[in-house]
Amino acid sequence: MQIKSAEFLMSNSKVEKCPKDRLPEYAFIGRSNVGKSSLINMLMDRKNLAKTSGRPGKTQLINHFLVNKNWYLVDLPGYGYARVSKSIKRTFQKFITDYFREREQMILAFVLVDCRLEPQPIDLEFMQWMGENGIPFNIIFTKADKLKPMALERNIKAYTAKMLETWEEMPQHFVTSASNYTGRDEVLNYIESLNSNMVDF
């Protein structure tokens, strides 16, 4: 997929205020500080489309970006470890779960996971919730440039083994790096294939 245009459309915390059209949406979500904004900027080939920050928990709203005038990239708040109040975290969780349960045009969620870390309970619990609620998702392993190839392969295998303890099969996954554009074509081409095979809502 060639990115011809990518523009910020809106931010809000209420699902009912999301765009009213029926364009397909792909949501990006992950634990705070997993590199989500950097990944989005890399995918869109824009330096500052999504705001990056050294402070975890910067994204606190549902952010819609219109891509190529025919699909939405949705940037959702990170979960866990963000330095925000408990009341704000509860709000996050409410509108995140509302979004996934109510947004019919959400085709797929990409759950971002730091490839350097062993499987984190908060990620596993979130994916368990997604599975229990029938919400389709893939995994994107981020920060692949931070590991040597053998270590990266070992970590992906370990993650797969952990997932297979509770899942019948490993969800489709991608390995990415925002620094060197690893995985960009694979993710974008996958989205393009889903869009091209889609029937009208």
CATH number of the domain residue 40 falls in: 3.40.50.300
Would you say residue 69 lies in a domain?
yes
Contact in structure between 103 and 15 (CB atoms under 8 Å): yes
Would you say residue 31 lies in a domain?
yes
Would you say residue 27 lies in a domain?
yes
Would you say residue 157 lies in a domain?
yes
How many domains does the structure of the chain reveal? 1
Please tell me the pTM assigned to this model: 0.90
Would you say residue 57 lies in a domain?
yes
From 74, 75, 71, select the one nearest 53 (Cα to Cα): 75
- Residues of the chain with confidence (pLDDT) below 70: 52-59, 80-92, 199-201
Compute the distance between CA of residue 35 and CA of residue 51 in angstroms, rounded to an integer.
Answer: 11
Range of the domain at 72: 6-195
Q: What is the pLDDT of residues 81-127, one digit of tens each?
A: 445 566 656 655 788 889 999 999 999 999 999 999 999 998 998 99
Residue 84: count of CB within 10 angstroms of its CB: 18
Contact in structure between 142 and 177 (CB atoms under 8 Å): yes
Would you say residue 136 lies in a domain?
yes
Compute the distance between CA of residue 14 and CA of residue 120 in angstroms, rounded to an integer.
Answer: 28
Would you say residue 200 lies in a domain?
no
Would you say residue 1 lies in a domain?
no
